[in-house]
Amino acid sequence: MTGTVTADKIIRLGKMLEDSGRVAVVTHTRPDGDAIGSSAAMVYRLVCEGRRDARLIIPNGMPDFLGFITRECCPGLVIRYDTDPEEALRWIADCDLVICLDASGFDRMEGMQAALEEAKARKILIDHHIGPREEFFDLVFSETETSSTCELLFRIMLALEGTDDAGRLPMPVLRALLAGMTTDTNNFANSVFPGTFGMASKMLEAGVDRDGILSEIYDHCRENRLRMMGYVLKDKLRILPNGASYIVVRAEELAEYDIREGEMEGIVNMPLTLDKVRLSIFLKEDSGFFRVSLRSKRGTSAFRLAERYFHGGGHEQASGGRLYFPGDIADRSQAEAFLERVTDEYFGFER
């Protein structure tokens, strides 16, 4: 079922949307810009069609800087599972269509996973990650050679409209999709394909204010974030002889700087500006585990490292996962030693 945006799939998608009355749009835990941008754009499209019974259901909170997307696309139509689990599960149980965006399956949705897998509703997957869980879905759009789910959804929406003119799509939808694509490519620094520039060009022709979107994403940071970044780069960055770098940030450090969800976004990319670094690893402590972000230069697979050592996955040069304690390591103090050992092993490096 995987493949390009074919005419047959578009016809099937259009029919499924037309026949649905109550829709749950879902995305992965700790939603990033691509997750929020694609999901919010989908909800807006459904609402604009007069299908008011559509909700965006997210497992937990999103970064503050992405708030402008949901304010424009789906104000009052977002349900957070972690703060209102009964409403989230009720909506999933009662809907007749589930649209999953920016996740290869429901296993990245924490407490919502079982309800989504067991739901009687028809299910659609739109995603760009490796390894889609096709067995849970009635219709799958999955393309890994695409910058973002937002780019894939942009093409799908144009195909549904039967046009190549981005101006046929509502401006809030265009803004949400461009914001998500921008964040997932690190502002066109990675995972960029010819279609990515084509999407951006069409949006600019349609009148989208890209400078305004960039300002929303990058120019509204708190002072805490900048000071934490300085501390981390000065005192926490380690560069290894094997070509890897790592940063491990613990819970008390996050608390000291009052760091909110999403405020450490992007720091994992910074060590890759160094000529001798080909792999960057960022660990941020959570309850009983570290959240792991991995970025790599071309020729080094962040995906394989995430899959092999961190219960994760993602893309070839941008992946994520978790490091559990106890479990993978006895306690959190062993995180640094673990990273040095597994990167040596991965690169076949002998000290």
3-state SS, 19-84, equals HCCCEEEECCCCCCHHHHHHHHHHHHHHHHCCCCCEEEEECCCCCHHHHHHHHHHCCCCEEECCCC
Q: Given this model, what pLDDT does residue 322 score?
A: 96
66 pLDDT more than 70: yes
Cα–Cα distance, 173 to 317 (Å, whole number): 28
Percentage of the chain exceeding pLDDT 70: 98
49 pLDDT more than 90: no
Nearest to 103 by CA among 209, 31, 54, 9: 31
Q: pLDDT class for 350, splitting at 50, 70, 90?
A: low
pLDDT in tens, 201-248: 999 999 999 999 999 999 988 999 999 999 999 999 999 999 999 999
Top pLDDT among 340 and 221 is at: 340
What's the CATH class of domain 223-347?
A: alpha beta
7-217, CATH topology level = inorganic pyrophosphatase (n-terminal core) (3.90.1640)
Tokens of 261: 């969800």
* Mean per-residue pLDDT, 170-185: 96
147 pLDDT more than 80: yes
Q: Given this model, what pLDDT does residue 315 score?
A: 86
pLDDT in tens, 73-101: 999 999 999 999 999 999 999 999 999 99
pLDDT in tens, 7-40: 999 999 999 999 999 999 999 999 999 999 999 9
Q: Given this model, what pLDDT does residue 351 score?
A: 60
- The answer to whether the CB of 176 falls within 8 A of the CB of 37 is yes
Q: pLDDT class for 155, splitting at 50, 70, 90?
A: very high
Whether pTM > 0.75 for this model: the answer is: yes
In angstroms, the Cα distances linking 107 to 114, 116, 149, 210, 226 are 9, 9, 17, 34, 33
Q: Given this model, what pLDDT does residue 294 score?
A: 97
pLDDT in tens, 301-333: 999 999 999 999 888 999 999 999 999 999 999
Q: Given this model, what pLDDT does residue 131 score?
A: 87
pLDDT in tens, 125-140: 999 998 899 999 999 9
pLDDT in tens, 254-282: 999 999 988 998 899 999 999 999 999 99
* In the chain, where the domains are located: 7-217, 223-347
Q: pLDDT class for 2, splitting at 50, 70, 90?
A: very low
Amino acid at 93: A
- Residue 326: asked if its preceding bond is cis (omega within 30°), the reply is yes
DSSP conformational letter for 234? I
Cα–Cα distance, 43 to 48 (Å, whole number): 9
Interior CA angle at 340 toward 337 and 344, to 5°? Answer: 140
Q: Given this model, what pLDDT does residue 1 score?
A: 39
Top pLDDT among 205 and 51 is at: 205
* Mean per-residue pLDDT, 166-175: 96
